[in-house]
Structures are given as structure tokens and as C-alpha cells.
Amino acid sequence: MNWLYLLGSGLALAIFIYLIAALFYPERF
């Protein structure tokens, strides 16, 4: 596993968590 794959998967996970948080707490965004 190279660092580019790790960075990409981490970024995708962060965006996924951000979308879930925006779905549950729309008044904060």
C-alpha cells in the first residue's frame, strides 16, 4: 500500500463522514 492510495482512501472517508454529518445536522452547515 503506497501513500497515495492511503491518502485517497482517507480523503474519501473524510468526505463520506462529512456528508453523513451534514445529513444529520443540517443546521450546522
Question: What is the predicted pLDDT for the residue at 26?
Answer: 75
Question: What is the predicted pLDDT for the residue at 9?
Answer: 98
Tell me how long the chain is.
29
Question: What is the predicted pLDDT for the residue at 1?
Answer: 72
Q: Which three cell numbers stand for residue 11?
A: 480523503
Question: What is the predicted pLDDT for the residue at 5?
Answer: 96
pLDDT tens for each residue of 1-29? 799 999 999 999 999 999 999 998 877 66
Give 21's contacts (C-beta < 8 A, 6+ positions apart).
28
Q: DSSP label at 25?
A: -
Question: What is the predicted pLDDT for the residue at 28?
Answer: 66
Question: Are the CB atoms for 22 and 29 separated by under 8 Å?
Answer: yes
Domain that holds residue 9: 1-28
Domains in the chain: how many in total?
A: 1
Amino acid at 9: S
The reported pTM is: 0.62
